[in-house]
Structure 1
Amino acid sequence: MKKRRMFSMLFMSAALAASLTACGGSSEPASNGGGSSSPPANSGGSTPEPAKEPAKEPAKEAGADIQEMTIKISHVVAENTPKHQGALAMKKAIEEASGGKIKVQVFPNSSLFGDKDEYQNLVANNAQFIIPDMAKLVGNDPGFNIPSMPFLFSSDEAANAFWDGPKGQEIFKRLEKDGALGMGMWPNGPKHITNNKKPIKAPEDFNGLKFRTQGGQVLEKLYSTLSAGSVSIPFNELYTALQQGTVDGQENTFSNIESKKFDEVQKYMTIMGHTRVDYALLTNTKFWNSMNDATRKIVEEGVKVGTDFARSQAAELNAAALKKLQERGQIEINELSKEDIQKFRDFLKPVYDEYNPIIGEDVIKDAMSR
């Protein structure tokens, strides 16, 4: 009886222990509710550290590298010319690409500097870009006589190709000694003759007349060969000089003749295309070198936009200007035939004989090949 009672008590104790174990009395740590349990301490494993992302540099604001500045572009002709339209296209491209950090001011009609002092003011960095007639630069280098050589280029495209090529770029680089940097050529186009005395159809018709030219020894030689006088007068003073009879006539592109209304003070115009008006887009070397890479890239792109636009506008504006001159009917217009032009070529051969060695026979040859 005692043995049976002892066995019952042992059985009850075992049942109670089993019950406690089933109710969750385990000594293992509880799960954190969804994540996997940590490995046991004696398992040899360890909890991996979360991967650290590399530290990020603070993001730069767009355009943070662009320098704030004001650029002045000065030129001497009217607003409705290829030169001014190119300058406006350059302004727009630079201001938009810089987000307004670079301001560009364009001064036409000699409103900032004129023919006589624009180059000096560029060198002094009082203007950052000028666009002078290349004839104004012949004293700096004889290569800029190229547009004045008679009947040298057959088209705007031929002239563009020369100045974009190695010989043209070589001439531009020669200005760096002055503190100026040649950025490219902007064409205005072939020049034509106006005067107040008589129609001009042959070389002998020039005899005794006096013309305003852009200046330079080549043009002096050209007109002296034709037995005519030549004088350099600032462009912004030319209308008055023609009106007062200081000179009998002048040579210029259709767009310059029309925009300055020279037909109001001239009786005759001859379509000749004997010489050209080509402009040099120049900048100041100190200004150029002061820009960081990001800023210079924007200005370079603006220069390209302006150059392309000025070139595209040259032929279009000259054609429109000729039409306006014809419609106004204030000036008698004569056009040379191919035979007439050949007579002028033959007559002006002494100009080439004298200036081939001065400009460089290699340069002249390159220009003729275009």
Structure 2
Amino acid sequence: MTSLKPLAAVAAVLLGTTSALAAEYELKLAHAAIGANNPVHLALESFAEDIASASGGQIEVTLFGGGQMGNDRELVELAQEGTIDIAVPTVSKLSAWDPAFAAPEIPYVFPSRDVALAVLGGAYGAYLEPKLNDLGLTTLGWFENGFRQMTNNLRPISKPGDLEGIKLRTMAVEAHIEAFDHLGANPTPMAFSELYSALQQNVVDGQENPLTNIVNNKMYEVQDYVSLTNHVYSAYIVVMNQGKFDAMPQELRSQLREALARALQTELDIIDADETRNLEVIEGAGVKVNALSDAEITAFREALGALSGRFEELVGADAYQALTAAVAQAQ
């Protein structure tokens, strides 16, 4: 008669192996960036793989992309309440809780990507951290949304006066609205989900977004001109429910932030590789592209200099001074 003991022993080993493979920390991460080929989504996929490996399988990250869990503000609220663990909103969306989060999107505050990332990942990011903690969140890292460019159906934009009378869709960021109004445009806040049809139906003449968004959302199909104005550096902030973060061992917390830093570099590499392709797609569709010279960008920066006091008022004097000091130091 065959003994059942060896089979029982094998079953016990298999059950033990299955248990060992189960992640101790199963984290839900959500973002609202549109498109499976969006650089932030691709970078987050690499992050999920990386952290699983780096943690020896102790951390498993499940992605919910493309806004399937909600828009940026809703994702922040879900992270606060612990329904999801990690949210990746654009940083300015957190200005609904504190205007200091809108400061990084003041037009022309950052002269380059390197300065922007040094400031956000350094002094100004540290300035924002207690404000996040007050919301029950902590920062894991940053991702790039990119420098925003202008598109429209009326004319190329190469100097401030070219914006006169253009009905331009903007985000609902007060600093953006006041800047475009000052430059003579007619800024029109509108949900991103409504933008393509609004351009198609001439509800607005133009809009402004990073090239990745312009291409991935096919806005070039309904626009005649793209002007590389680099007027706002837009960034994603990666925030985690603080209670869940604090409950993790220090080693795993460090691994999360280190994996996010590697994922940022992955994203930047993807963006750099896509830059030429994006311009080729836009120009291939018959859209006229004009890149502004340093002197032309300086003219925009100087034209908006008159609003520096207003920008300081909008984001708070402490935040404005902390940001401009961090930029000066990074330069």
- TM-score class normalised by the smaller sequence: 0.7 to 0.9
Q: Which residue of 1 aligns with 2:11?
A: none
Q: Which residue of 2 aligns with 1:75?
A: 32
Q: Is the 8 A contact 1:63 1:98 kept in 2?
A: no
TM alignment of 1:1-370, pairs within 5 A: 67-293=24-250, 295-326=252-283, 328-356=284-312, 358=316, 359-369=319-329, 370=331
Letter in 2 for 1:130: A
Q: Which has the larger radius of gyration?
A: 1
Unaligned runs of 5+ in 2: 1-15
In structure 2, relative to structure 1, the CA distance for the partners of 1:94 and 1:338 (3 Å cut) is closer
Letter in 1 for 2:44: A
Moved more, 209-218 or 229-238: 229-238
Alpha-carbon offset, residue 68 of structure 1: 4.2
Q: Is the 8 A contact 1:67 1:291 kept in 2?
A: no
Letter in 1 for 2:247: S
Q: Deviations over 1:136-176 (max 9, x none)?
A: 12233333233322222222111111112223221233111
Q: Give the share of equivalent positions with the same residue, in percent.
A: 25
Q: Secondary structure at the match of 2:157?
A: coil
More helix by share: 2
Alpha-carbon offset, residue 298 of structure 1: 4.1
Unaligned runs of 5+ in 1: 1-59
Q: Deviations over 1:276-329 (max 9, x none)?
A: 111111111122123234543443343233233223333333343223322x23
Alpha-carbon offset, residue 134 of structure 1: 1.7
Moved more, 249-258 or 294-303: 294-303
Q: Is the 8 A contact 1:173 1:182 kept in 2?
A: no
Distance, in Å, in 2 between the alignment partners of 1:162 and 1:321 is 27
In structure 2, relative to structure 1, the CA distance for the partners of 1:126 and 1:247 (3 Å cut) is farther
Distance, in Å, in 1 between the alignment partners of 2:267 and 2:130 is 22
Q: Is the 8 A contact 2:27 2:86 kept in 1?
A: no
Alpha-carbon offset, residue 96 of structure 1: 2.6
Moved more, 331-340 or 277-286: 331-340
Alpha-carbon offset, residue 100 of structure 1: 4.5
Q: Is the 8 A contact 2:123 2:326 kept in 1?
A: no
What TM-score do the two structures reach when normalised by structure 2? Answer: 0.84
Moved more, 181-190 or 229-238: 229-238
Q: Secondary structure at the match of 2:286?
A: coil
In structure 2, relative to structure 1, the CA distance for the partners of 1:278 and 1:345 (3 Å cut) is same
Alpha-carbon offset, residue 216 of structure 1: 1.6
Q: Secondary structure at the match of 1:360?
A: helix
Distance, in Å, in 1 between the alignment partners of 2:56 and 2:141 is 25
Alignment RMSD (CA, Å): 2.6
What TM-score do the two structures reach when normalised by structure 1? Answer: 0.75
Residue-pair matches, total? 310
